Amino acid sequence: MTDSYVCIDLETTGLDPKRDKIIEIGAVKVEKGEITGEWQTLVNPGKKLEERIVELTGIRDDELVEARTISEVLPDLFAFLEERTLLGHSVLFDFSFLKKAAVNERLSFERQGIDTLKIARKYLQNLESRALGALCEHYGIPHSAHRALEDARATTALYQRLWDEFYEKEEQEGEKSLFRPRPLVYKAKRDTPLTPAQKEQLYKLLDKHKLVIDYEIESLTRSEASRRIDRILAEYGR
């Protein structure tokens, strides 16, 4: 069993790391099977949250206004993570958002990971759902869903329960054992900031059509700015 790792969980504005942003990070450090530290922060995504995200997480825009940006958060987070194996429930999802954020800041971020969802899918096929909440209910693990640190704590407890029940059977798979760390792979390209011409065009369109926006123009990427401009032109014209 890998007994030294960091369990990571993120809350985000959506499911696509190319377009969506991190709004909360929670991490639990485990050394030799014992929890030795926890780390949590909110992250300012630079735009207003959709109502469905507010309802899902309970995180509100006013909580994020004073939060640090992801570029400010990453050095502290990576210092906490060190070079440890990452544990997560669908760990590649969390890794992909962190990898994308790291690439945007020209930082290196390569890790190995263990996925409790893959273990559950293999051994708990009789359950109606292998979502984290359903598995916590199955094992009687306390869980407050959709907050990063709470989910990381629950996943840490879930990993221990899965190990207790299935480790010996899974170790027969040798190097293929799902309890052994494997390289996490996600190809991410660095976002290009919006161009001066896009910035000027956006401000002109907003002024001309008297539009109030719920995002920060300065934080837009070139592709995001292009989509915003196209949307305004399609709805309001030039």
Whole-angstrom Cα distance, residue 66 to residue 215?
15
The count of C-alpha atoms lying within 13 angstroms of the C-alpha of 20, restricted to the half-sphere facing its C-beta, is 18
C-alpha 107: how far from chain center: 17
Per-residue confidence (pLDDT) for residue 174, from 0 to 100: 85
- ∠ CA 188-189-195, nearest 5°, is 150
Per-residue confidence (pLDDT) for residue 1, from 0 to 100: 58
DSSP assigned state of 182? E
User: Tell me, what amino acid is at 173?
Assistant: E
pLDDT in tens, 145-179: 889 999 999 999 999 999 999 999 998 888 889 99
Residues in the chain: 238
Per-residue confidence (pLDDT) for residue 160, from 0 to 100: 96
pLDDT in tens, 181-224: 999 999 999 988 889 999 999 999 999 899 888 888 888 888 88
pLDDT in tens, 6-45: 999 999 999 999 989 999 999 999 999 899 999 999 999 9
Whole-angstrom Cα distance, residue 118 to residue 166?
12
116 in Cβ contact with 87 (< 8 Å): yes
Catalytic residue among 89, 138, 143, 146: 146
Calculate the alpha carbon distances from 210 to 206, 232, 238 in Å: 6, 11, 13
DSSP assigned state of 180? S
228 in Cβ contact with 46 (< 8 Å): no
Residue 60 has a CB neighbour count (10 Å cut-off) of 11
146 is catalytic: yes
> How many helices (H) and strands (E) in the chain?
9, 6
129/175: higher pLDDT: 129
Residue 229 phi/psi, 5-degree rounding, is: -65, -45
